[in-house]
Amino acid sequence: MFLFACLLIVNRSFSQNAKFHIYLCLGQSNMEGNAKFEPQDTTVNTRFRVLEALDCDNLNRKKGQWYTAIPPLSRCKTGLTPADYFGREMISHLPEDVTVGVINVAIGGCKIELFDKNIFENYKTTAPNWMKGMIDQYDGNPYSRLVELAKIAQKDGFIKGILLHQGESNTGDTLWTKKVKIVYDNLLNDLNLKAESTPLLAGEVVNADQDGKCASMNKIIAMLPQTIPNAHIISSAGCPDIADNLHFSAEGYRILGRRYATKMLEILPKN
């Protein structure tokens, strides 16, 4: 019996591919993808994969299955996200036998409280109806869906980091860094991850140099490493936005996504 148990453990460990790097992506509309993707965005190397978060008949995708990461990467009809060019940039610099996978669960307009598993139910009661419809697509619990998918992904590869883009709806909230830490710590605990080997990459909101309406939030975002030692801030300086001064343009997402990757490529050797 003991030998059988040992064989099960060995077989399970070998089912995980050490060269399949997985990243969790969460946040609000800029991680969800606000800009329409363009023809140049639809040619994707098969080494870049997405674990579908929903059943999307229009994309011929099923929840919990891996696909080549052709946008949209969040929900069935969302747009281009930083995750798109994060993955492209990663595989362009990693060895050819390394695959990169992303899981993207994001809700436009949400506060970080939506991803706190202990208080999200209270937060949902204050959410506008248009947001509730998006939340319902994740069976009412985006955090739980992210963890569910991450556990599926861990059977295939290893989670290497977490990408966050959120803050517009918490602008001016000096407790934001502590709230993010709660979500981060919950993910570590629920997925048996170690903080020292799970960096959190947090992107700035639309910068002041683009007249960003929430640019003041970047000062609070900059303080995140004081609360989470393995947090890293991704600059949005020079990333073009659109007329609402809240969302990046397609080119802005491309630039920001590559910056997430540049930072992750700096971190990987240390892991």
Q: Alpha helix (H) ranges present in 80-175? A: 82-93, 120-124, 129-136, 142-153
CA–CA dist 82, 185 (Å, integer): 23
* pLDDT above 60: residue 234: yes
Which pLDDT band holds residue 271 (cuts at 50, 70, 90)? low
Which residues are part of the catalytic machinery?
29, 244, 247
**Domain boundary assignment for the chain:** 15-270
Classify 116 in phi/psi space as left (phi over 0), alpha (psi -120 to 50) or beta: beta
What was the pLDDT predicted at 7?
39
Q: For residues 15 and 143, which has the higher predicted lDDT (pLDDT)?
A: 143
Residue 100: strand, helix, or coil:
strand
CA–CA dist 257, 73 (Å, integer): 13
Sorted by sequence, the CB contacts under 8 Å of residue 161 that are 6+ apart come out as 23, 24, 198, 199, 200, 201, 264, 267
Q: Which of 98, 107, 143 is nearest to 32 (CA)?
A: 107
* pLDDT above 80: residue 13: no
Classify 240 in phi/psi space as left (phi over 0), alpha (psi -120 to 50) or beta: beta
Q: What is the rounded average pLDDT for all residues in the chain? A: 94
User: Do residues 214 and 166 lie in contact, with contact meaning Cβ atoms separated by under 8 Å?
Assistant: no
Measure Cα distances from 220 to 21, 72, 88, 178, 238 in Å: 30, 30, 29, 11, 19
pLDDT digits (tens, 9 = 90+) for 52-80: 999 999 999 999 999 999 999 999 999 99
What was the pLDDT predicted at 8?
41
Rounded to an integer, the average pLDDT of 224-246 is 98
What was the pLDDT predicted at 10?
38
What was the pLDDT predicted at 9?
40
Rounded to an integer, the average pLDDT of 123-142 is 96
* pLDDT above 80: residue 36: yes
Query: Above pLDDT 70, what percent of the chain?
Result: 94
pTM of the model: 0.94
Which pLDDT band holds residue 270 (cuts at 50, 70, 90)? low
* pLDDT above 70: residue 1: no
Count CB atoms within 10 A of the CB of residue 167: 25
- For domain 15-270, give the CATH number: 3.40.50.1110
pLDDT digits (tens, 9 = 90+) for 183-206: 999 999 999 999 999 999 999 999
Cα 245 from chain centroid?
A: 22
What was the pLDDT predicted at 15?
76
